[in-house]
Amino acid sequence: MFRGFYTAASGMLAQQRRTEVLTNNMANANTPGFKADQTSLRAFPEMLIERIDQQSVPSEKGLNLPFSTRIGTLNTGVYMQETLPSFMQGDLRETGLSTDLALLDINLPVNPDSGLRGSVFYTVTGADGEQRYTRNGNFTIDGEGFLTTSSGLYILDDEGERIQLASDRFTVNENGILTGEAGETARLGIAYAENPESLRKEGDGLFAATEDSVLENAYTAGGVQFKLQQGYLERSNVDASRTMTDMLAAYRSFEANQKVLQAYDRSMEKTANEIGRIG
């Protein structure tokens, strides 16, 4: 009986966490470059239940031999195993602003281990100097003329240096070459992740490389083809209609487990108050 409580409760917790992930996806449906998180649920290992008993053997000494009877398997609940972002290309939206840039995947090699395609990212850095990666090309020019993200992170060129411009009147060709109004030039730093699932997802659409991985330069990576489009933004890859459907399904599963938990509670109450009183 008590095991049933834990099984139903684990289902409620798993669906609650899944709902939180889906809610975050829906909240960022209009965030440029946002990559939707995907969840996977997994059952805890099943337990094999056996009944241990003894059988008397007719003999002078009256021997009792132990034996077991197999009852069957028991599922011990479910949990949310992991949350991984989907790096599928989002649709492009035209804005007409020179500071808006979109990365367009042309041909990205498939990772032989995971079977998934790699991904390319803008390279950015904050005041701490640590590099981060993003697909959000909604850039701006700060007060000192540096090209930054909307949250104030500096955009890096392919040599890891900050890009400083005289004004927002600049052009970027499809190969990432930036030319400013005053003649300044730079090439946007684009990194390639062969296995993007190894990246650690942070807030504000940022990703960080793990300690044992270093992202290579996308311009020199073998077989990697992409281009940049100025005046466009990559939209999030959240499928709003499917996300709403998944949220409703998760809520119904949560509600079903809740009713099972209430049924167990009523049974325990009857056991304690009625059967116990009769005894």
Rounded to an integer, the average pLDDT of 61-72 is 69
* Residue among 83, 123, 92, 88 at smallest CA distance from 108: 88
Please, what is the end-to-end C-alpha distance for the chain in angstroms? 19
Residue 172 has pLDDT above 70, yes or no: yes
Tell me: the pLDDT tens digits for 37-53? 999 887 776 766 677 77
CA distance 41 to 84: 12
Residue at token pair 């290309």:
89
Rounded to an integer, the average pLDDT of 124-146 is 91
pLDDT at 2: 66
Residue 267 has pLDDT above 70, yes or no: yes
Rounded to an integer, the average pLDDT of 161-167 is 92
Backbone angles phi, psi at 47, to 5 degrees: -110, 140
Q: How far is CA 220 from CA 38, 49, 51, 217, in A?
A: 31, 58, 65, 6
Share of the chain above pLDDT 70, in %: 87
The lowest-confidence range among 8-12, 25-29, 159-163 is: 8-12
Residue 271 has pLDDT above 80, yes or no: no
pTM equals: 0.79
With cut-offs at 50, 70 and 90, classify the pLDDT of residue 270: confident
pLDDT at 56: 67
pLDDT at 276: 55
Size (the chain), residues: 279
Longest CA pairwise span in the chain (Å):
109
Q: Where are the domains of the chain?
A: 2-83, 87-234
Give CB contacts under 8 A, 24+ apart, made by 88-91.
88/35, 88/237, 89/234, 89/237, 90/33, 90/34, 90/135, 90/234, 90/235, 90/236, 90/237, 91/234, 91/235
> How many C-beta atoms lie closer than 10 Å to residue 101's C-beta?
24
Q: SS3 sequence, the chain? A: CHHHHHHHHHHHHHHHHHHHHHHHHHHCCCCCCCCCEEEEEEECCCEEEEEEEEEEECCCCCEEEEEEEEEEEECCCEEEEEEEECCCCCCEEECCCCCEEEEEEEECCECCCCCCECEEEEEEECCCCCEEEECCCEEEECCCCEEEECCCCEEEECCCCECECCCCCCEECCCCEEECCCCCEEEECEEEECCHHHCEECCCCEEECCCCCCCEECCCCCCCEEEEEECEEECCCCCHHHHHHHHHHHHHHHHHHHHHHHHHHHHHHHHHHHHHHHC
Residue 279 has pLDDT above 60, yes or no: no
pLDDT at 57: 64
Tell me: the pLDDT tens digits for 210-261? 876 778 999 999 899 999 999 999 999 999 999 999 999 999 999 998 998 8
Task: Supply the mean pLDDT for the chain.
Answer: 87
